[in-house]
Chain A
């Protein structure tokens, strides 16, 4: 019988290019080479997942799942978001205008509509652990166009806050936050810029916390008081895989 399974995927351009090159090398440019290679790759991946689990568990599961397994919905999640953001995401009618307006959505699988859907249906872990939550540039185009006047950015930022509270954060962001705590600037000055400043006739250090230790101390107080330092300490960064 002919294989009838079909999956359409979006992937990083460079990954796609590299894969195609390898496929061409291994199977040649024949029709069906891609399907062959992809099936092989999937089977390899499935096998390694089973092996990682252990022989007992591997036996318990059938080889190919057709339904995604997700954590059971959390009844409170949507309510939490509504309360924390002041944004009623339950108003969403899933029209998709946000996705069509999104600059990230244009080039990745990031789908703001789906995130709001999953959030309002209570799929807390799936949403908060997803890297998709971090692909929004907060450009606000979706907010301007939403027919239900939902501030999508506000909802996403609230969910980001919730993710970080749970310790889920991206590695580079932990670095930026650490800089902020140490220097009072998310982007602190570097040697090259000090030189440039002198060259331009400006003070070597700008009149910010860089120059005023007392002010820096104040900033650090605030960051401690508001729990920011604690949050960053507790964060267990995920690998920022390519999206």
Chain B
């Protein structure tokens, strides 16, 4: 290994990145400039430094010229830092003797209109990188054992799939689900597009597999409350709320619910029906057991009643159950918390909440479910009779700068599906879909769209501007422009369905904070790279599946879940992870034990330890993320980041300013 105070021999490699950099920055000029910088032994330029030829160029120079530092001026280190570190390592040089100057994302891509300026800036960036290179020191990674288990948060179709894949791979999985049962949104739908499969029929076998799988521990009525650690070693706390029913004894006979005196609106039916304080979310619930809603149970709130306990023949009611907090250690985490349907109440022009017969797509879905509030029949809420003329309004709350700019993907297809169901149920009914664009992008989707047109569903291109109720007939009058004909019209319907999109769940913010994973501008959880790493969260070791990451249909949710499970398996199968030398070194002689760093560390990675007659700060390298807060705060300069020392940063500043 080379000592950092020996003769400096820096190799500078300037990348064209095809045309991405070369189109704007004069790469040759930058290479020439670099060759004259102090300590630079050689400066080269090449089309794609990251390809084999480019990498060989570097390794050859290391071997033949005895380079002891490498500067690569190319794309963001986020893209290829690991690639080039590997190149150094293979050539026998410590991988941390590499410095990257980002002359793409931070230069050529943002200064397209000023090539001269961009070239000067690129030179400046390389000069700074070369200055820092002098102060780089060889560093070692640490190898840590991985906890060979995984946490899956969310028991919808995505979470179920991910859990099954991980468990089938042999890993222990903890599947945490907030509600009393698995199933999620798919469990609320009756038929799925484009196959018109019965959702429960295809979902239930998977739910049962989860409950029977020896490697899956299913924790329902549970939620994540705390998390710390990093890839391969996460420490999480899961709060398990009491069900007050013994899952093993309950036979799901339902007598308790019959006798329970408390009625509350049923969330599963979006308020269109009611349930009791003791309830099951569906007849196919997994676990197949009742659950008592602590907010509404008379005994739990006011100490009276207990009828359920009296009538339960299996003696399954147990009011002594207590809340538990489970502490688990896992190697990977998959977040599959799903979505909420958009609430269209703010669109006052549509009258949702004022007019009974204006409903949402999910509400209509519940009506088509034989286990739903209307026994599977689509009925007008105001009269309880089947509708004769139905309108679907698309893009409600989606593709709308006033609410959510994104497209929710599934609404065109579910409207088409529901319109076919209505056509089947009420022969001779008139169904119209008011759209801005029809998005039938998936396998079998365009064919499904065609099928609906053949069945007589009308497609009218025009965003409905307002809905009002005819005071005499109580029909709903829609005002719209048929843009393809260019005429503004009004027409009346007896049922209007607002095709609302998907929005991030209300608890997305909490999960984002607990896990430290950021959200995208649209509010969904952010993926590490939109093209190349769609299943990874930004934080290593945490993965995303399902609509938690972005609205999607079931096939995509399942595909992503399997993808996330595959990604999550990598550290688990490796069994070990390399911990980067991110964490600071604490100079124990300088450390005065003041404890400021401990209070400031956002990851709880520091604590005080006794050293002889004083206390000093100690870093947990697994929890530490290298943010540098402690370094900045330390009054005695005892904390130093190994990858960003004071000398390194100052040298860059001097080079940049000089």
Contact = CB atoms under 8 A, between A and B. Distances in A.
A114 B485 CA distance: 12
A147 B481 contact: no
B28 interface: no
Nearest to B400: A147
Contact of B480 (A96, A114, A148, A149): A96
A93 B407 CA distance: 14
Interface in A81-129: 93-102, 105-106, 111, 113-114
25 contacts: A8-B487, A93-B437, A95-B436, A95-B463, A96-B462, A96-B482, A97-B463, A97-B465, A97-B481, A99-B481, A99-B488, A100-B462, A100-B479, A101-B466, A101-B479, A111-B486, A113-B481, A113-B483, A145-B349, A145-B465, A147-B395, A147-B400, A147-B401, A147-B463, A148-B401
A17 B402 CA distance: 43
B353 to A, nearest CB: 18
B486 A147 contact: no
A95 B401 contact: no
A95 B486 CA distance: 11
Contacts of A148: 401
Contacts of A97: 462-465, 481
Contacts of B466: 100-101
A10 B489 CA distance: 12
Contacts of B349: 145
A111 B395 CA distance: 22
A147 B479 contact: no
A105 B437 CA distance: 23
Given A95-B483, A100-B479, A149 B401 contact: yes
Interface in A129-176: 141, 145-149
B464 A100 contact: yes
Interface residues of A, number: 23
A96 B481 contact: yes
A236 to B, nearest CB: 30
Contacts of A93: 436-437
Interface in B49-106: none
A201 to B, nearest CB: 44
B458 to A, nearest CB: 16
Contacts of B479: 100-101
Interface of A: 8, 10, 93-102, 105-106, 111, 113-114, 141, 145-149
B402 A102 contact: no
B439 interface: no
A86 B574 CA distance: 56
B402 A106 contact: no
A94 B435 CA distance: 11
B402 A100 contact: no
Given A102-B488, A106-B488, A145-B349, A96 B402 contact: no
A149 B401 CA distance: 6
A111 B484 CA distance: 13
B48 interface: no
Place the interface of chain B in its size category: 20 to 34
Given A147-B399, A148-B401, A100 B463 contact: yes
B468 interface: no
Interface string B385-407: 00000000001000111100000
Contacts of A94: 483
A141 B488 CA distance: 15
B461 interface: yes
Interface string B448-461: 00000000000001
Interface in B418-437: 436-437
Contacts of A101: 465-466, 479
Contacts of A10: 487
B177 to A, nearest CB: 35
Contacts of A102: 488
Contacts of B465: 97-98, 100-101, 141, 145
B350 to A, nearest CB: 11
Contacts of B461: 96
Contacts of A141: 465
A100 B465 CA distance: 5
A87 to B, nearest CB: 13
Contacts of A145: 349, 465
A10 B483 CA distance: 15
Residue from A106, A113, A145 whose CB has the most chain B CB atoms within 10 Å: A145
Given A100-B462, A100-B480, A113-B481, A147 B402 contact: yes
A80 to B, nearest CB: 22
Nearest to B460: A96
Contacts of B464: 97, 100
B403 to A, nearest CB: 9
A182 to B, nearest CB: 40
Contacts of A100: 462-466, 479-481, 488
Nearest to A110: B488
Given A111-B481, A145-B349, 16 more contacts: A10-B487, A93-B437, A96-B461, A96-B462, A96-B483, A97-B463, A97-B464, A98-B465, A99-B488, A100-B462, A100-B465, A100-B488, A101-B479, A102-B488, A105-B488, A149-B402
Nearest to A142: B465
B482 to A, nearest CB: 8
Contacts of A111: 481, 486, 488
A110 B267 CA distance: 46
Nearest to B479: A100
A100 B486 CA distance: 11
B406 to A, nearest CB: 12
A102 B489 CA distance: 11
A101 B349 CA distance: 10
B524 to A, nearest CB: 20
Contacts of B483: 94-96, 99, 113
Nearest to A141: B465
A149 B405 CA distance: 10
A88 to B, nearest CB: 12
Contacts of B399: 147
B576 to A, nearest CB: 51
A34 B105 CA distance: 68
A47 to B, nearest CB: 28
Contacts of B436: 93, 95, 147
A96 B437 CA distance: 12
Contacts of A98: 465
Interface in B455-513: 461-466, 479-483, 486-488
A105 B482 CA distance: 13
Interface in B340-387: 349
Nearest to B462: A96
A8 B487 CA distance: 10
Nearest to B489: A100
A58 B565 CA distance: 76
A175 to B, nearest CB: 31
Contacts of B486: 111, 114
Contacts of A99: 481, 483, 488
Nearest to A145: B465
Contacts of A105: 481, 488
A149 B436 CA distance: 15
B160 to A, nearest CB: 35
A98 B483 CA distance: 11
Interface in B110-137: none
A10 to B, nearest CB: 8
A99 B480 CA distance: 7
